[in-house]
Amino acid sequence: MLKMSLKTMLLAAVALTVGTGAASAGKLTIESWRNDDAAIWKDKIIPAFMAKHPGITVEFTPTAPKEYNAALNAKLAGGTAGDIITCRPFDASLELFNKGFLAGLNDLGSMKNFSDVAKSAWTTDDGKTTFCVPMGSVIHGFIYNKDIFAELKLTEPKTEEEFLATLEAIKKNGKYVPLVLGTNDQWEAATMGFQNIGPNYWKGEDGRKALIDGKGKLTDKAYVDTFAALAKWGPYMGDGYKAQTYPDSQNLFGLGKGAIYAAGSWDISTFRGQKVNMGAFKAPPPAGSKDCYISDHTDIGIGMNAKSANAADAKVFLDWIGSEEFAGIFANALPGFFPLSNSKVAISDDVAQTFVSWRGECKSTIRNSYQILSRGTPNLENEMWNVSAQVLNGAMKPEAAADQLEAGLQKWYKPHQ
């Protein structure tokens, strides 16, 4: 009995895999790691597409995030992967394209709806071929507790001085933690600290590109100044921030014990769940800045299996992913993940709307360690976690932090040698 059912299950599994691989015309399957969003794809996104294109059936078949890369690689190598592939940003997807698993998508009509920054995460190093349609990004900024701001009669800070003055005022009052950010897990220090405020100092894309072609160095004033600005935060980060983990920070702000939270936009839905009355302001630029810059980081894209049996339909689907209609559904179903297309999208979540509105006021850039610069040893991203946490802990001087980053890059990256 057991043997029979096992055999049946195996057969079914094989049949399923074969079915996925050799999709018949009119049927598309999507590979993705976003199993959290499965319901949104099944109930909102796919029905909206199928209403417009009745001849094509789409199925969303996600894998757990931690297993996605390995599972996808195995499926692609074995020829059983779905037609549509959700793309991780930068090197992971670039490797798939170089191996011939992902198709180039330069001829896709909706590609013109995306800026070069949006496409950078899924474009070859020479900038010639784009192989995934940019789908979503996360934006950095600061989320604040409106009730606490009202109680202490504070307003959203517009400049760095005002930001520090606001923190000082909250600290004087003594009831709340002024700035919620911990350094135990290290990545928040780099991501929500350094990459959050940094673009204003290194002028966004200009600075990021200069680092890649070797015209800029991490020891330049912009980077030292970013670390110097971070170093001023320590006294406002509450008791014991050195042992504060990311969930600690989320709870601290979620429970209304902290006034300002150094954020990534994906935190919005967490705090919505905790019913925080919140607002958001962008990274306050230092004195004398003319323009402002935000970290609008490309996080998720979508491309096509080069060996798809149903390439024509897959292109129709990808073209639709680049459309305004998809952008609208995506932005509202997942507040905190923003569509990357240039089309203007109305978002019903007011805090998410605030985040996305900064795109109109400031210039967008992505995290500067993600493209090319984290390919060698020592790994630049790891180094940034380490030194940013140390600067916030007061254990490292801003100049020393910049020196260490540049020295690490010089060890392996030709343009910096």
**27 or 257, CB closer to other proteins?**
257
Q: Which residues contact 54 (CB under 8 A, 6 or more apart)?
A: none
What is the smallest separation between the CB atom of 155 and other proteins, expressed in angstroms?
Answer: 28
What is the smallest separation between the CB atom of 101 and other proteins, expressed in angstroms?
Answer: 13
What is the smallest separation between the CB atom of 23 and other proteins, expressed in angstroms?
Answer: 29
**157 or 258, CB closer to other proteins?**
258
Contact residue for other proteins among 395, 397, 400, 403 (CB under 8 A): 395
Q: Is the dihedral of CA 188, 189, 191, 196 positive or negative?
A: positive
**91 or 324, CB closer to other proteins?**
91
**226 or 368, CB closer to other proteins?**
368
Rg (CA), the chain: 23
Contact 340, 110 (CB under 8 A): no
- Measured from the Cβ of residue 402, the count of other Cβ atoms closer than 10 Å reads 24
The two beta strands, 258-264 and 338-339, are unpaired
Closest CA to 167 of 287, 254, 262, 255: 262
Query: Amino acid identity of 94?
Result: L
Q: Residue 410 interacts with other proteins (CB under 8 A)?
A: no
Binding string, residues 131-170; x marks residues near other proteins by CB under 8 A? ----------------------------------------
What is the smallest separation between the CB atom of 239 and other proteins, expressed in angstroms?
Answer: 5
The H or E element containing residue 110 is none
What is the smallest separation between the CB atom of 196 and other proteins, expressed in angstroms?
Answer: 17
**69 or 343, CB closer to other proteins?**
69
Of residues 366-385, which lie at the interface with other proteins (CB under 8 A)? 369-370, 374-382, 385
**319 or 381, CB closer to other proteins?**
381
Closest CA to 145 of 271, 235, 267, 266: 271
Torsion of CA 126, 129, 132, 133, to 10 degrees: 100
Total residues in contact with other proteins, by rule CB under 8 A = 39
Contact residue for other proteins among 185, 220, 319, 403 (CB under 8 A): 185
Where helices occur in 146-203 by DSSP H, the ranges are 146-151, 160-173, 187-188, 195-197, 199-202
Query: Amino acid identity of 359?
Result: R
What is the smallest separation between the CB atom of 390 and other proteins, expressed in angstroms?
Answer: 5
What is the smallest separation between the CB atom of 198 and other proteins, expressed in angstroms?
Answer: 17
Binding string, residues 230-259; x marks residues near other proteins by CB under 8 A? --------xxxxxxxx--x--xx-------
Angle subtended at Cα 251 by Cα 353 and Cα 265, rounded to the nearest 5 degrees: 25
What is the smallest separation between the CB atom of 375 and other proteins, expressed in angstroms?
Answer: 7
Q: Which residues contact 332 (CB under 8 A, 6 or more apart)?
A: 347, 348, 349
Binding string, residues 330-369; x marks residues near other proteins by CB under 8 A? ---------------------------------------x
Contact 363, 207 (CB under 8 A): no
Question: What tokens does 17 get?
Answer: 């895999």
What is the smallest separation between the CB atom of 182 and other proteins, expressed in angstroms?
Answer: 8
Q: Residue 184 interacts with other proteins (CB under 8 A)?
A: yes
Of residues 32-71, which lie at the interface with other proteins (CB under 8 A)? none
Question: What tokens does 311 get?
Answer: 């390439």
**84 or 121, CB closer to other proteins?**
121
Question: What tokens does 127 get?
Answer: 């900038």
Distance between first and last Cα of the chain: 68
What is the smallest separation between the CB atom of 382 and other proteins, expressed in angstroms?
Answer: 6
Query: 210 to each of 44, 204, 297, 368, 376, how far by Cα in Å?
Result: 41, 10, 18, 10, 18
Q: Which stretch binds other proteins (CB under 8 A): 145-153, 185-193, 217-225, 332-340?
A: 185-193
Q: Residue 93 interacts with other proteins (CB under 8 A)?
A: no
What is the smallest separation between the CB atom of 357 and other proteins, expressed in angstroms?
Answer: 29
Residue 174, sorted as left (phi over 0), alpha (psi -120 to 50) or beta, turns out to be: left
Q: Residue 390 interacts with other proteins (CB under 8 A)?
A: yes
Count Cβ atoms within 10 A of the Cβ of residue 153 and give its class: 0-12 exposed, 13-18 middle, 19 or more buried: exposed
Distance separating alpha carbons of residues 189 and 135, to the nearest angstrom: 26
Q: Residue 175 interacts with other proteins (CB under 8 A)?
A: no
The length of the chain, given as a count of residues: 417
Footprint on this chain of other proteins (rule: CB under 8 A)? 90-91, 95, 183-187, 238-245, 248, 251-252, 369-370, 374-382, 385-386, 389-390, 393, 395-396, 411-412
